[in-house]
Amino acid sequence: MAIQIGDIVGRRSYQCDLLFRVVKISEDESIVELAGEDMRLIADAPLDDIVVMNRDEQQQIKKKIIEKEKSSFRLFRQDYQLLRHKMEYSATGGYDKNNSYFKLPGKVLHVDGDPYYLNKCLELYKKLNVPVYGIHMKESEMPEKVPALLEEVAPDILVITGHDAYSSSKGEKNDLQAYRHSKYFVRTVKDARKKNPNLDQLMIFAGACQSHFESLIRAGANFASSPSRVNIHALDPVYIVSKVSFTSFVDRINVWEVLRNTITGDDGLGGVETTGFLRTGMPIKSHDNSNSQSTTAEV
């Protein structure tokens, strides 16, 4: 069966351990460009190394990924409940539980090089109640277009991600030019930091699979991938920035407390101490004639 764009495939040379989408086929049909189905990896492969995965094979591989996703979501919800109890105590002064209050979590601008991943992330943001503005653009376009978006959206948190990959044939691991898209992520972070140099006024996550972690952190990212040059999961950026969004602005976030809830962990993700963005306010006044009750709300 002929390989077509959009097919879900595996690589024989890697024992079909990951699922990929075919995104491009060379004119002579000898090379295909692949994007990870769950991992933020992009790769070129010979056509004869590619095999189309049937539904049962896909489900078998996805089952392990889904279990990891559920575990990360469960851990995040546990952390969120702790944050919520702390927030309620602070908002009410620890005394009057009958007072109503509202919360303002940090607003996210998520720029993604993959529209499929972007939609998947937006679904999770919605599930977690994180305010987000999402937009898809090619990684190569990000340095020119993201600065204007920052002025338009005025986010508290910026996510710059998509696909990336390290190629040993292009250089050593410390050579930025040996990476597919790291150079674009680095330029985008630098330009964003020119507009807002304070790491606690604009939190930045940058990178994808195998990205040049050290360059991204030096450029001004709070969190980045990938310290061990491993693949990261498509949803990892969401868990990191959601933790920051729902942490109070008076609290600093321990890096490990953020990484432990991700799917990839500290091999694929790292960062620096960062202040949260959540602010609480009160009261919420009811303008109808019904009895008022204690409430929490997002505005």
The helices-and-strands tally (H runs, E runs) of the chain is 7, 16
Tokens 């004869």 label which residue? 48
Using CB atoms within 10 Å of the CB of residue 245, give its burial: 0 to 12 exposed, 13 to 18 middle, 19+ buried.
Answer: buried
68-281 carries CATH number 3.40.50.2300: yes
Question: For residue 29, what pLDDT is reported?
Answer: 85
Question: For residue 287, what pLDDT is reported?
Answer: 61
| Average pLDDT of the residues of the chain | 87
Of all residues in the chain, the percent with pLDDT exceeding 70 is 89
Name the range with the highest mean pLDDT among 48-52, 211-215, 244-248: 211-215
Element holding 84 (H helix, E strand):
helix 55-91
Check: CB of residue 209 under 8 Å from CB of residue 238: no
Question: For residue 17, what pLDDT is reported?
Answer: 84
Give which of 267, 215, 212, 214 is closest to 236, Cα–Cα: 267
Give me the amino acid identity at 98: N
Give which of 42, 58, 43, 56 is closest to 9, Cα–Cα: 58
- Model confidence over 181-207: pLDDT tens digits? 999 999 999 999 999 999 999 999 999
Per-residue confidence band for 295, with pLDDT thresholds at 50, 70 and 90: very low
Query: Domain residue spans in the chain?
Result: 8-53, 68-281
- Model confidence over 4-39: pLDDT tens digits? 899 999 999 988 888 899 989 988 888 999 988 888
Q: E strands of 207-287, at which residues?
A: 223-224, 252-253, 270-271, 274-275, 279-281
Question: For residue 102, what pLDDT is reported?
Answer: 81
Average pLDDT of 63-79?
76
Distance CA 216, CA 225 (A): 8
Question: For residue 173, what pLDDT is reported?
Answer: 93
